[in-house]
Amino acid sequence: MQLNFEYLPATGGAQQELVLLHGWGSNREIWRHLLLPLRPWANITLVDLPGCAPGCDLDAPPQLAQTLAAILNCSPAKAVYLGWSLGGQLAVELGARYPERVAAVVTLCSNPRFVATTQWPGMDAGQFSAFRAVVVADPGAALRRFDSLQITGSRQPRQLLRHLPRQGRERASRQLLAGLHWLATLDQRDRLPALIQPQLHLLAELDGLLPAGLEQSLTALLLETPSAQVQVLAGASHVAPLDAPDTVAQEIRVFLANAGVLNKSPHPTQTPTKKEVADSFSRAAGLYDSVAKLQRDVGAQLLTSLDQLQIVPATVLDLGCGTGYFYADLRRRYPDARYLGLDLAQGMVEFARDRAGGAEDWLVGDAEALPLAANSVDLVFSSLAVQWCYRPEHLFAELSRVLRPGGYCVFTSLGPDTLRELRAAWAAVDSHQHVNTFLPPSELATAARQVPGIQLELDNGLFRMEYQRVRDLLAELKTLGAHNMNRDRPAGLTSRRTMAGMLQAYEAWREDGVLPATYDVIFGVLEKA
């Protein structure tokens, strides 16, 4: 079983992996409001659960064990599992069955025994059976009725109703009975006290779907379990991910910090900001092609790698399109495909749009936060843009998100040996960083392994450019917009003495009357399963 999922790396320093499991009749879109307060400190995995999410049908109705295994297959090696409603019960099952994979369990508006018994508060068994009969007769009507149940008790029911996920509703089928079966049969009252992981159970004050006595029952059940906490979210309804996202995120972070399962935030890097990169290349757009021989040679070689792909794309994304130089080549190769040109630098996008006569779609955007829908692209072509992505886990997660299953990304990037001659010449005269630093293939490979569902193959090649004078190389880098942008670059103008020393040191590299400049080029092919 393969699940639809997304992996969204932290926008700040990642302190933990979080896997978010939605409830019955919903899908991963229920978590969108919660992402903003969670992603600054957590990597997020979102999944759509068959048997619960409308439209996620399989060849046969899903079984519980099969579904749990599929969740683990698309999740990090170890993570905190946060489950809402029925998703909370699934998180508890994962914690009990696979303790080595689960760092902590957090449930939100969830009941370990959903259907009431004489000893436990829950939904009346007769009401549950009647609702199941509606699902059998008309799954779509049942989902509409369930939406009304979920917002019962909330202070803003109409507003919440508009935000409930609607995707897949037109394809709702009786496979949703699988999730109802889990709700009817799961009884985790023995599971919870036995969990070895820290556990937090968040209930909502205005939850109209769960019984009012659940807080007292859960507290009594976990009275002798010191690693467990039960809390009530004031003013929240059953759809707490929508009406109390900031409070939910804050409670989770405080709990995980107190439980000792948050990692320390990494130190900030000294790499250039995206704004610095974008501004530099925007200024260079008009003259870029006049000095971009290396970029043309590398891109031409990358184009040949497309011959090996067995794909007829409906949509092609030119990621880091720059001046749109490869637009014509890609259109000739794939005349029936929709072309999207995207670059971080607005100046580049405007130049490319004018060059193409306004045809096609041109976007300003960040490769680490693509302004594109999930599963919307078949082929990504990216030549010498990836080196400006210093968080490759974000890049690969975004590529995985926007690529359709079976899609590819072919790319080139610059490696750490780029301009090694210039780097050595500067190192001979001072200790400052004068040459941009680029990530090695090993870091790209490690980042790709963190993103489930993709495979990455890498290769290297050296490209040599030749100059009569070092100043010609420096002028070319400036014209390209690729001059030194690292945060550790020297402040102010370089002194004449230092510059003269660097120029003299570079002369040691002269061969046959020319000065070489080596570019370490990484070639990558990424495939989404």
What share of the chain in percent tops pLDDT 90? 82
63-94 pLDDT, tens per residue? Answer: 999 999 999 999 999 999 999 999 999 999 99
pLDDT band, residue 487 (cuts 50/70/90): low
Question: Does 288 have pLDDT greater than 80?
Answer: yes
215-239 CB burial, b ≥16 within 10 A, e <16: bebbeebbeeeeebbbeebeebbbb
Catalytic one of 22, 26, 57, 85? 85
What is the rounded distance in angstroms from the CA atom of residue 429 to the CA atom of residue 84? Answer: 60
Strand order in the sheet with 403-414: 361-364, 338-343, 315-319, 377-383, 403-414, 515-528, 454-467
pLDDT band, residue 176 (cuts 50/70/90): very high
Catalytic residue check, 85: yes
pLDDT at 507: 96
Query: What mean pLDDT comes out for the span 351-380?
Result: 91
Query: What mean pLDDT comes out for the span 300-318?
Result: 96
Query: What mean pLDDT comes out for the span 473-491?
Result: 75
Average pLDDT score over the chain: 93
Catalytic one of 22, 33, 201, 238? 238
Q: Which of 48-62, 268-282, 340-354, 462-476 has the lowest mean pLDDT?
A: 268-282
Residues in Cβ contact with 116 at an 8 Å cutoff, skipping those fewer than 6 apart: 122, 123, 124, 125, 211
Q: Which residues pair with 454 in a beta bridge?
A: 528
The sign of the dihedral angle between the CA atoms of 424, 428, 431, 432 is negative
Catalytic residue check, 376: no
Q: Which of 18-27, 177-186, 282-291, 489-498 has the lowest mean pLDDT?
A: 489-498
Q: Which residues pair with 232 in a beta bridge?
A: 203
Task: For residue 239, give Cα distances in angstroms to 1, 37, 113, 162.
Answer: 28, 17, 19, 12
Query: What mean pLDDT comes out for the span 196-210?
Result: 96
Task: For residue 176, give Cα distances in angstroms to 101, 139, 268, 471.
Answer: 27, 8, 46, 68
pLDDT at 436: 87
Catalytic residue check, 394: no
Residue 461 CB neighbour total at 10 angstroms: 13
What is the rounded distance in angstroms from the CA atom of residue 329 to the CA atom of residue 339? Answer: 11
What is the rounded distance in angstroms from the CA atom of residue 31 to the CA atom of residue 84? Answer: 9
Domains and CATH numbers, the chain: 5-259 (3.40.50.1820), 274-416+437-464+518-528 (3.40.50.150)
Phi, psi for 513 (deg, rounded to 5): 85, 5
Residue 221 DSSP class? H
Catalytic one of 48, 57, 207, 343? 207
30-51 pLDDT, tens per residue? Answer: 999 999 999 999 999 999 999 9
